Amino acid sequence: MPGCFGIGDFGPCAYEFADFLLAAGQKLWQVLPLNPTGYGDSPYQCFSAFAGNPLLLSLERLRDQGLLEESDLAQAPPFPEDLIDFGATIQYKRPALRRAAEVFFADASRADRAAFDRFCERASPWLDDFALFMALKDVHNGTAWTTWDAEIRRRDPHAVSEWTLRLARHLNEIKYWQFEFFRQWEDLKTYCRQRDIRLMGDLPIYVAHDSADVWARPEMFYLEDRGNPTVVSGVPPDYFSTTGQLWGNPIYRWDVLEADGFRWWIERFRASLALFDLVRLDHFRGFESYWEVPAREATAIHGRWVKAPGKKLLSALRNEFGELPIVAENLGVITPPVEQLREEFGLPGMSILQFAFGTDPQGPSFRPHNYSRDLVAYTGGHDNDTAVGWWASSGATDSTRTPEDVRKEQELARAYLNFHDDAEINWIMIRAVEASVAAVVIVPLQDVLGLSNSARMNLPGTVSGNWKWRYRPGVLSGELSARLRSLTVLYDRDSGSPIAMEENRLR
């Protein structure tokens, strides 16, 4: 989102976007993980699986609460309009957030202070560890927890007590930012709900190694004595890389998680379902079998498939929450057991139109005439190029495709989509998925706006330059919302339609 403070936030632009969705007849807003980003600024490498990213806090809303002065906001440097400079944003926003925390603790009303205390008590199973972890990272200049002194690295009780006392003021600041994060998000969620817009979140299968989750619960992961992983996550060679993708996250010790009835996963889902109406379960394939790579390897080639207790985990979740409002991200190397697991628990899968025309043997299943109703269809995902960028690609620099593969892919796509050179490929693709029988269709905003690959969100296998795109102010025009609404109405995806009633089952 645009905005004056370097990064999209829960301020006016978020509410304007909800208004755009309403005008465009849209019912579902999907977001990337909202946790505090770490390595590579990736929302899939976060410092906590439970906490919110304080950079998303709206300074304008803090000003309206009397926690910041107008002068605090006037000091913002000139940030880029269409991308995030994470370093500059952090350098500007953190002092402002500290000022807001200082004012809150000095002048908060009795009701606000009581609300803060209730939040801290309710969130204590993760909040205390997270706050201490982040404060310790600041003390250690941001270095990974495995480099800290042995006593605090291993969470010696005496060291934990000593550091908690020493860092008490900073711990309160961090807890306050979390309090405001969830308060601002809940306000936005309520605004969306009043407009019949539901929010869909994203739950990554893995957590980052340098996170409060791993530091606080090392017994849940395969780690050596110092805390470094012995095996890490990834996927074998795929569409995006001939050497596979080496994600580097530590692998769960599923036997330990199972021994206490998957309580950590249950609490993680509870936290996610408190934020969202619907959750995309990332890398669903890994809940049936996951690709395990020795930590010493430089690529993901020399890994192996290892069975995971997906059925037991999903059963525990269903016993706790009833019918699961989950969309299974069933992309990649999908085998019959993976699909059996998804179907057994009644979870809709995903389809990406960009994958429909290439050499992948699963390509035909991504073509709209082969869709099932119990499906969420996309023109592309956050790992794909934009529709315009994908169509303009001639060298396959973003994938394992050869130039000849690209030529054949575009030839098939041209015939299948009945595409002519004077048409807009992004709208041709949007129409194709909307006209399908898939119960739900989600379109990346870049494709609605018809942007080139300069607006791509992520290029798998790269660690820099990703997750930075922002849309420019003023682009969400009435003409654009009317165009999107017309397709929504044309294909009976507006409220009260059979598709909408089918969609209700995914709540």
DSSP string, 297-327: -SSSTT-EEEE--HHHHHHHHHHHHSS--EE
The closest alpha carbon to 334, from 300, 365, 373, belongs to 365
Residue 435 DSSP symbol: T
User: Of the residues 187, 258, 282, 502, which is catalytic?
Assistant: 282
DSSP string, 121-168: HHHHHHHHHHHHHHHHHHHTTT--GGGS-HHHHTT-HHHHHHHHHHTH
Tell me the sheet residues that pair with 241. 238
Tell me the sheet residues that pair with 351. 377
Tell me how far CA of residue 359 lies from CA of 242, 355, 410, 433, in angstroms: 14, 9, 11, 20
The closest alpha carbon to 58, from 108, 2, 19, 132, belongs to 2
Residue 369 class from Cβ within 10 Å (0-12 exposed, 13-18 middle, 19+ buried)? Answer: exposed
User: Of the residues 288, 374, 383, 409, which is catalytic?
Assistant: 383
Tell me how far CA of residue 468 lies from CA of 30, 40, 299, in angstroms: 17, 11, 25
The question of whether 282 is a catalytic residue gets the answer yes
CA angle 10, 16, 19 (to 5 degrees): 120
Task: Provide CB contacts within 8 A for 294, sequence distance 6+.
Answer: 230, 231, 232, 302, 303
Task: Provide CB contacts within 8 A for 50, sequence distance 6+.
Answer: 35, 123, 126, 127, 130, 213, 267, 268, 271
Q: 40 — alpha (psi -120 to 50), left (phi > 0) or beta?
A: left
Backbone dihedral angles phi then psi of residue 248, each to the nearest 5 degrees: 85, 0
Residues 375, 439 contacting (CB under 8 angstroms): yes
Tell me the C-alpha distance between 196 and 189, whole Å. 10
The question of whether 128 is a catalytic residue gets the answer no
114: number of Cβ within 10 Å? 11
Tell me the sheet residues that pair with 289. 307
The question of whether 383 is a catalytic residue gets the answer yes
Tell me the sheet residues that pair with 252. 221
The closest alpha carbon to 308, from 268, 335, 346, belongs to 335
Residues 36, 85 contacting (CB under 8 angstroms): no
User: Of the residues 41, 288, 329, 374, which is catalytic?
Assistant: 329
Q: Give the catalytic positions in this structure.
A: 282, 329, 383
